[in-house]
């Protein structure tokens, strides 16, 4: 669900050269070939959906984190506990994308067996654009929830506005859609708005602020207990501050799948006939805009601004990787 601005007048770049470039950078930063290709794939996939804040523009930060051992460049992700429909993963200090993807797939396996799967992850880095992880589930016909702690720990010592203390915890839910329609994917931060905007909203009504605070609290409580269960040992990878919870539901266990998809199609068709929200040109389901962009960008290239490409070129100079897009 990204209303991230995209300047369609920018020069477009095909995804394959970006994928090759970021893969090689990550390998030279210390990752295994397999993990480098996997992480690069997630970043390019994020660019293809137009969520440019979490795509290849973040490659330099990740590469430096591997090079400086803020993250473990070669994590051995492991299952630390498993019982019934639940499973827990340890990210071994690596970037959160790798642990998140494995945890969702583990929860999917549980949901196939039990109807529902719960996977927990801990001791990993930034989990990226978490719509990646709920989309893994929707592609398998599953409903999924995913929430993660923020990269920056909360400051409970400074007295400040309470919503700022809680940070912008990412939250995503995904629902499989009928054939020919994109999945519904909610992918957002739980901080309603910056403090100055909150003050403007409060002059009209505090109700949205209260609801936003409740969503922050939900994400916090689904992850903080895991964060506080870290083993009391020295942490060799200080950037691995993220923990996450994912729940996957198998709709086939709930009733007739044909009914589920038929009702979903009726919902799509009915709501698309409605008037859009103020300030928007049309009714767009969460995930629908990203799906439209992906089709366009995969065929015609991703519109990336000059600053984005300059940063990638600088990154290539540092790691001796050529700009394959030229």
Q: How confident is the model at residue 108 (pLDDT cuts 50, 70, 90)?
A: very high
Residue ranges of alpha helices (H) inside the chain are 15-28, 33-48, 59-67, 96-114, 131-138, 162-165, 195-202, 207-227, 257-272, 288-300, 306-319
In the chain, what's the furthest Cα-to-Cα distance? 57
Return the pLDDT at 1.
43
Q: How confident is the model at residue 233 (pLDDT cuts 50, 70, 90)?
A: low
Q: How confident is the model at residue 223 (pLDDT cuts 50, 70, 90)?
A: confident
pLDDT tens, position by position, 198-209: 999 999 999 999
- Mean pLDDT value of segment 201-221: 91
Return the pLDDT at 234.
59
| All domains in the chain, ordered by first residue | 12-319 (3.30.1370.60)
Question: Alpha carbon of 156 to those of 161, 211, 218: distances in Å?
Answer: 11, 21, 18
Q: How many CB atoms sit inside 10 A of residue 139's CB?
A: 12
Mean pLDDT of the chain, nearest integer: 93
User: SS3 of 44, please?
Assistant: helix
Task: Kindly state the percentage of the chain with pLDDT values over 70.
Answer: 96
Return the pLDDT at 80.
93
**Mode of pairing for the β-strands spanning 116-124 and 86-90:** parallel
pLDDT exceeds 80 at position 54: yes
Q: pTM of this prediction? A: 0.94
pLDDT tens, position by position, 176-198: 999 999 999 999 998 888 888 99
pLDDT tens, position by position, 296-320: 999 999 999 999 999 999 999 999 9
pLDDT exceeds 60 at position 2: no
pLDDT exceeds 80 at position 102: yes
pLDDT tens, position by position, 242-292: 999 999 999 999 999 999 999 999 999 999 999 998 888 889 899 999 999
The CA distance from 277 to 280, in Å, is 6
pLDDT tens, position by position, 131-150: 999 999 999 999 999 999 88
* Closest by Cα among 83, 21, 74 to 319: 21
| Cβ contact 215:171 at 8 Å | yes
Helix (H) / strand (E) element for 78: namely strand 78-83
Planar angle of CA 165, 218, 245, nearest 5 degrees: 105
Return the pLDDT at 150.
81
């Amino acid at each position: 669900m990204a209303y991230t601005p995209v300047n369609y007048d920018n020069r477009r770049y095909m995804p394959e050269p970006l994928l090759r470039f970021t893969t090689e950078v990550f390998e030279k930063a210390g990752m295994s070939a397999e993990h480098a290709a996997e992480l690069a794939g997630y970043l390019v996939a994020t660019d293809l959906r137009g969520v440019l804040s979490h795509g290849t523009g973040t490659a330099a930060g990740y590469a430096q984190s591997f090079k400086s051992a803020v993250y473990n460049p070669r994590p051995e992700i492991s299952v630390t506990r498993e019982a019934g429909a639940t499973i827990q993963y340890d990210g071994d200090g690596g970037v959160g994308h790798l642990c998140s993807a494995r945890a969702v797939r583990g929860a999917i396996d549980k949901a196939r067996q039990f109807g529902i799967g719960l996977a927990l992850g801990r001791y990993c880095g930034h989990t990226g654009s978490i719509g990646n992880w709920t989309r893994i589930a929707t592609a398998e016909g599953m409903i999924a929830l995913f929430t993660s702690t923020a990269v920056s720990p909360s400051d409970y010592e400074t007295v400040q506005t309470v919503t700022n203390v809680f940070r912008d915890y990412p939250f995503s839910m995904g629902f499989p859609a009928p054939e020919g329609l994109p999945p519904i994917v909610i992918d957002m931060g739980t901080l309603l708005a910056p403090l100055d905007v909150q003050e403007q909203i409060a002059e009209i009504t505090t109700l949205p602020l209260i609801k936003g605070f409740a969503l922050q609290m939900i994400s916090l409580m689904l992850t903080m207990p895991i964060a506080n269960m870290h083993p009391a040992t020295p942490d060799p990878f200080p950037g691995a501050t993220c923990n996450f919870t994912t729940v996957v539901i198998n709709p086939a266990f709930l009733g007739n799948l044909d009914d589920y998809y038929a009702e979903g199609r009726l919902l799509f068709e009915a709501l698309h006939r409605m008037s859009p929200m103020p300030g928007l040109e049309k009714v767009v389901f969460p995930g629908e805009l990203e799906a439209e962009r992906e089709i366009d960008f995969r065929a015609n290239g991703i519109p990336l601004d000059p600053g984005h490409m300059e940063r990638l070129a600088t990154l290539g100079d540092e790691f001796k990787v050529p700009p394959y897009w030229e």
